[in-house]
Structure 1
Amino acid sequence: MSELDTERTEVRVKLPRYQKEAWIEDAEEVGMSQAEFVRTMVQAGRNELGLEGSGGAGEDASEEPPSEGVDPRGGGLEDRVLEVLRREGAMDWDELLEFVAGDVEDRLDEALGEVQEGGLVIYSGRDGGYVLTDE
């Protein structure tokens, strides 16, 4: 197995609202989270420009299993596990978990951001976590 740094980090991008709305619609159309959609599109652009080997660690560290056929609600996990093992070789539990759970963390972070932005949820230290607002 190659040594890849799979720790997640956040990237923020400023773009016109209409463009974000278009990306949201496109992501929904292909059954992806917004984060997965942007990662996939950036990787596709890098590949198109011939930059597939510039991800660091001796190979493309940003490459993830393809999203085609993956059910964003959890189905297809078996396919994702098989794909990662084919590509990376033997992995222990923690390594494999990092590959398949990272997207869930991204989706939760994205969903919490959206419901907080919409005023439906706030974080309350007093209540010990996220709580619904009075809508």
Structure 2
Amino acid sequence: MSDERRSVKTYVPAEQKDRWQAHADELGMSQSEFVRTMVQAGRRGFSLPNETNTVETASGDETPGSHDLETQVKRALTAGPCSWDELVDALRGDFEDQLEETLDALQDRNRVRYNGRQGGYALVDE
């Protein structure tokens, strides 16, 4: 691994950024260090969706489905102990991210469309 560093930008909701900053502060990390650590921790346990669609645990065992609650709790705890509220916040954030990704994928496949007149997302008639 090279010591050369490069910038990566991402945009997240303000509330999520605030949670990340608070967690980074608790761990005595910069926000960059925190995000880098969390990305690396997350990458250790996940295969790409188009591969086997499984989650690999640290022991090498495979757990079906990348969205099961046990896996999400373990991932949230990789940085250390969390209170109940911190776990709920982490899982809520994961759920919101998963929901957004799912809706984006469904819209890309023209299966769901956002319709302001109907008050939100709706299935596209086949």
Structure holding more strand per residue: 2
Structure with the bigger RCO (C-alpha within 8 Å, sep 6+) is 1
The TM-score, its normalising length taken from structure 2, stands at 0.47
The TM-score, its normalising length taken from structure 1, stands at 0.45
